[in-house]
């Protein structure tokens, strides 16, 4: 198969379409949540973005922040763990800098030890 055939293969076209869709849903969700005061619609859009392309790091970075702000600590922890595997951009690393400590502290404070 030639390079041109590979680039235009149905699988490649679907992957590019999913990536574009995820990008748009991610930044729509972040804008809704952060700037437009629509947290539920923002969260829905971010979840749709993460579903459309599980390997798009920005969606997971924003979800980690949103989950943390919403008190969903375990979900924030999972998103941050996933983000760490996806080679995020410096901007996403800056956005999430410091929240690992907040998440770890919150998880430690909710852990109970049996006598």
Domain assignment of residue 90, yes or no: yes
With bands split at pLDDT 50, 70 and 90, how would you rate the model's confidence at 110? confident
Q: What percent of the chain has pLDDT over 70?
A: 79
Domain assignment of residue 42, yes or no: yes
Q: List the Cα angle 25/29/30 in 5-degree steps.
A: 120
Please give the Cα distance from 90 to 95 (Å, whole number). Answer: 9
Please give the Cα distance from 60 to 55 (Å, whole number). Answer: 9
Q: What is the pLDDT of residues 7-62, one digit of tens each?
A: 444 544 455 556 678 899 999 999 999 999 999 999 999 999 999 899 999 999 99
pLDDT at position 112: 54
Q: Is the pLDDT reported for residue 3 higher than 80?
A: no
The rounded Cα 29 to chain-centroid distance in angstroms is: 10
Domain assignment of residue 59, yes or no: yes
The CATH number of the domain where 37 resides is what? 1.25.40.10
pTM > 0.85: yes or no? no
Total domains in the chain come to 1
Domain assignment of residue 115, yes or no: no
Domain assignment of residue 69, yes or no: yes
| Rg of the chain (C-alpha set) | 17
Domain assignment of residue 41, yes or no: yes
Phi then psi dihedrals of residue 54, to 5 deg: -60, -15
- Contacts with 103 (C-beta within 8 Å, 6 or more apart), sequence order: 64, 68, 73, 76, 77, 80
Domain that holds residue 76: 19-109
pLDDT at position 20: 79
Domain assignment of residue 52, yes or no: yes
Q: What percent of the chain has pLDDT over 90?
A: 62
pLDDT at position 74: 95
For residue 69, give the DSSP letter. Answer: H
Domain assignment of residue 99, yes or no: yes
pLDDT at position 61: 96
pLDDT at position 15: 55
């Amino acid at each position: 198969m030639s390079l041109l055939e590979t680039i235009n293969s149905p699988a490649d076209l679907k992957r590019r379409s999913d990536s574009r869709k995820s990008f748009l849903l991610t930044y729509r969700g972040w804008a809704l949540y952060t700037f437009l005061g629509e947290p539920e619609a923002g969260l829905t859009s971010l979840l749709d973005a993460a579903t459309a392309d599980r390997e798009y790091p920005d969606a997971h970075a924003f979800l980690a922040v949103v989950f943390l702000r919403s008190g969903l600590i375990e979900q924030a922890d999972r998103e941050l763990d996933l983000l760490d595997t996806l080679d995020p951009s410096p901007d996403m690393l800056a956005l999430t800098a410091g929240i690992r400590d907040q998440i770890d502290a919150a998880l430690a404070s909710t852990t109970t030890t049996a006598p």
